[in-house]
A and B are shown apart, each in its own frame.
Chain A
C-alpha cells in the first residue's frame, strides 16, 4: 500500500507540473497540444546540460531554456506567419520527437537514448510517504504562486478575460497575441521542469519518455473544468491510474501492452464522463 502511495506521488509530480502549464494556457483560451513536445525537449536538454556542467540544477536550467526556445518559436510562427495554432502545436510535437532522435543519434551515437553521467536526482526518505524527490515540494510551491497569479493579480484577470472574451481585451488595448505567447512560454517552463524530473530521476533520456503526459494533462484540466482549485485532486486521480497500471504489470502475468492501455482508456472514459456532465448541466440551465 505504501508502495502504491509512493509511486502515485512520484507519478503525480511530472503530471502535476505539466497540468499547471496546461491550466495557464487554458485560462487564455487555447487548447495547448504542444505540451508533449515541450516536455520531451526539456527531458533531453536536462540530461545534456547536466552532463556538460556536472550539476542537476544547471541541467534543469538548460531544459527550461530549450523548452522556452521551442515555445517562443511556436508563438513567433503563430503570430508572424499567422498559422493555425493547432497545426503549429502538432508540428512542434513532431519537431521535438525528430530533434531528440537526431541529436541523440548524431552527437551521442545512440538513437533515442542518452545516459546521465552524474548521479541522478536524490530520493529523500520521508516518514509516511516513502522516497520522494525535491520536485514535489517545488511543484506545490509553484502551484501556489500560479494560483495567486491567476486569481489575485491584474495579469491573471487579463489572462482570464482573454479566455472568456478576447474582444474585451481589444477594448482595453491589450494584445491577445502577447498574452497567448506569455501563457505558452510560462507553460513551457513547467513542461521543462516535468521533463527534467523525468530524465534526471531516471538517470537517462529515453525517446518518447513523456509518454503522452501532455495529452493527459489536457484532460486533467478538462476534468477540473479549468478551475485551478481542483487541480491537485484531478491530477491525483490520473497519477493513481498510472500507478495502478504499473502495479498490475508487476503483480500478475498481465501483458505489458494491456497494462499500458489502462491510462489512455481511463483518460478517455473520464473525458466522456465530464463531457456528459457538462452537457447535462447545459441542458438543465437552458430548460
Chain B
C-alpha cells in the first residue's frame, strides 16, 4: 500500500510540474491543459485511437519488464521495434497470397528478428561482460539507420507521399470504427496476463526474479544465470519487435520512417512505473498513451509543443525509482 501511495505521489508531482510548465509556456494555459488531458477522451474517435496505441505499448513494456526483472536494462527498444516492424511488413507482403494467416507468420518472424538483436547484447554480456545497456543502445542506433536507409531507399513505396514502405494487404480487424482500434488490444491483454502467469507461477519467472534480487545468491542456489540472461533478454527483444509488428497491422499499415523513435523509452517508463508487474502495465500504458495522444491534440489546437508528453515521461522517469518516495528502506536495485 505504501508503494501505491508513493506511486500516486510521483504521478501527482509530475502532473503538477507539467501543469506548471504549461502555465509558463502557453498563452492560453487552460485550453492547453484541457486539450492535453481531456482531449483524447472527448470523442469516440480519439478515444479509440488512444486505445489502439495502448496495445503495442503494453506488449513492448512487458518485454522491457522481462529484462528489468533480472536486472538487465534493454535500451535497444527503438531499434528492435523498428526492425520488427520492417520484418513484419516484408514477410506479410511476401506471404500475402496465403491470406490473413500471413499476419501470424509475419509477427512470429518479426519477434525472431528482435530476439536475435537482443541476443547479441545478452551474449556479449555473458561472455565478455560488455554492459548490455551500451551494447543494446549502439545496436539500436545502427539498426535504426539501416532500416531508415531501406525505407527511404530500396523499399520505399513510390506512390506514397510519406517516407514509408509498401502497404501490407491485410490488417487486424477493426472493432471500433471510425477509430483505428483493432483486435490488437485483445492480443496485448492476453500477453499481459500470460506473462503475469509466467512471472508468478512458473519456474522461469521465479528464477528470473531471484537473479534480479541477487545474482550470486541465485548462482549459489543452482540457477544458471547466463541461461536466464539469454532467455530473458531475447524474449525482451522479441516482444518489443512483436509490438513493432502490431503497429503495422493495427495502426500504420506500412513502416513510416522514424515511427518507433522514443517508444522504447516510453516502454521503459511504463514498466518502471508498473514495478515490472504486467497487470499494472495495462492501465499505465493507457495513461501514457493518453498523454501522448493529448499532446498531439494540444499541439494542433493550442500553442504548446507535443513534446510536453516527453517531458511528462521524463519527470516521472526521474522520480520513479526513488526509494524515499516509494517508502522502501533500500534502493530499487537494477544493476
Contact B310 A86 (CB under 8 A): no
Q: Which of A247-287 touch B at CB < 8 Å?
A: 255, 257-258, 260-261, 264-265, 267-268, 271-272, 275-276, 278-279
Contact A271 B134 (CB under 8 A): yes
Contact of A279 among B129, B131, B148 (CB under 8 A): B129
Chain A CB within 8 A of B107 CB = no
Contact of B138 among A82, A92, A268 (CB under 8 A): A268
**B69–chain A nearest beta-carbon distance, Å:** 14
Interface locus among B84-92, B186-194, B315-323: B315-323
A87-B317 contact, Cβ under 8 Å, with A257-B145, A271-B130:
yes
List, in ascending order, chain A residues with CB within 8 A of B138's CB.
215, 219, 264, 267-268, 271
Chain A CB within 8 A of B216 CB = no
A98-B317 contact, Cβ under 8 Å, with A77-B322, A275-B129:
no
List, in ascending order, chain B residues with CB within 8 A of A31's CB.
131, 133
Contact of A258 among B26, B139, B149 (CB under 8 A): B149
Contact of A111 among B75, B145, B305, B314 (CB under 8 A): B305
Chain A CB within 8 A of B325 CB = yes
Chain B residue at smallest Cβ distance from A276: B128
Contact A257 B152 (CB under 8 A): yes
Contact B319 A83 (CB under 8 A): yes
List, in ascending order, chain A residues with CB within 8 A of B73's CB.
86
A264-B145 contact, Cβ under 8 Å, with A33-B133, A84-B331, A91-B317:
yes
Contact B145 A260 (CB under 8 A): yes
A257-B133 contact, Cβ under 8 Å, with A84-B332, A87-B272, A111-B305:
no
List, in ascending order, chain B residues with CB within 8 A of A265's CB.
142
List, in ascending order, chain A residues with CB within 8 A of B322's CB.
77, 81-83
A212-B311 contact, Cβ under 8 Å, with A86-B133, A106-B304:
no
Contact A81 B325 (CB under 8 A): yes
Contact of B149 among A94, A219, A255 (CB under 8 A): A255
List, in ascending order, chain B residues with CB within 8 A of A257's CB.
145-146, 148-149, 152-153
**A57–chain B nearest beta-carbon distance, Å:** 28
Contact B26 A106 (CB under 8 A): yes
Contact B128 A279 (CB under 8 A): yes
Chain A CB within 8 A of B177 CB = no
Chain A CB within 8 A of B268 CB = yes
Q: Which of B134-156 touch A at CB < 8 Å?
A: 134-135, 137-139, 141-142, 145-146, 148-149, 152-153
Contact B307 A105 (CB under 8 A): yes
Complex-state Cα separation, A102 to B314, whole angstroms: 13
List, in ascending order, chain A residues with CB within 8 A of B320's CB.
83, 87
Please tell me the size bucket of the interface on A.
35 or more
List, in ascending order, chain A residues with CB within 8 A of B334's CB.
84, 86-87
**A272–chain B nearest beta-carbon distance, Å:** 6
Contact of B315 among A95, A258, A278 (CB under 8 A): A95
Majority DSSP secondary structure for residues of A touching B: helix
List, in ascending order, chain B residues with CB within 8 A of A246's CB.
none
Chain A CB within 8 A of B38 CB = no
The 8 A CB mask of B293-331 against A (1 = contact, 0 = none) is 000000000011101101101110111111111000001
List, in ascending order, chain A residues with CB within 8 A of B141's CB.
212, 215, 261, 264
Chain B residue at smallest Cβ distance from A257: B149
Q: Which of A63-107 touch B at CB < 8 Å?
A: 77, 80-84, 86-88, 90-92, 94-95, 97-99, 101-102, 105-107
Q: Which of A101-146 touch B at CB < 8 Å?
A: 101-102, 105-107, 111
List, in ascending order, chain A residues with CB within 8 A of B201's CB.
none
Complex-state Cα separation, A99 to B133, whole angstroms: 24
Complex-state Cα separation, A106 to B307, whole angstroms: 11
Complex-state Cα separation, A265 to B141, whole angstroms: 9
**A176–chain B nearest beta-carbon distance, Å:** 13
Contact A101 B134 (CB under 8 A): no
Contact A98 B307 (CB under 8 A): yes
Chain A CB within 8 A of B265 CB = yes
Chain A residue at smallest Cβ distance from B139: A268
Complex-state Cα separation, A98 to B304, whole angstroms: 12
List, in ascending order, chain A residues with CB within 8 A of B127's CB.
279
Which among B75, B141, B315 has the greatest number of chain A C-beta atoms within 10 A?
Answer: B141
List, in ascending order, chain B residues with CB within 8 A of A97's CB.
307, 310, 314
Q: Which of A210-230 touch B at CB < 8 Å?
A: 212, 215, 218-219
**A87–chain B nearest beta-carbon distance, Å:** 5
Complex-state Cα separation, A264 to B148, whole angstroms: 15
Contact B272 A272 (CB under 8 A): no
The 8 A CB mask of A195-222 against B (1 = contact, 0 = none) is 0000000000000000010010011000
Contact B307 A102 (CB under 8 A): yes
List, in ascending order, chain B residues with CB within 8 A of A90's CB.
75, 265, 268, 317
Complex-state Cα separation, A270 to B133, whole angstroms: 16
Chain B residue at smallest Cβ distance from A73: B318
Q: Other CB < 8 Å A-B pairs besides A257-B146, A268-B142, 6 of them?
A: A33-B133, A87-B317, A97-B314, A102-B307, A257-B148, A268-B138
Give the 5 A-B residue pairs with the shortest CB-CB distance, closest first: A257-B149, A91-B317, A275-B128, A81-B322, A94-B314
Give me 5 A-to-B residue pairs in the complex whose CB atoms sit less than 8 angstroms apart, sorted by A's number.
Answer: A84-B334, A87-B334, A90-B268, A271-B135, A272-B130
Binding site for B on A (CB under 8 A): 31, 33, 77, 80-84, 86-88, 90-92, 94-95, 97-99, 101-102, 105-107, 111, 212, 215, 218-219, 255, 257-258, 260-261, 264-265, 267-268, 271-272, 275-276, 278-279
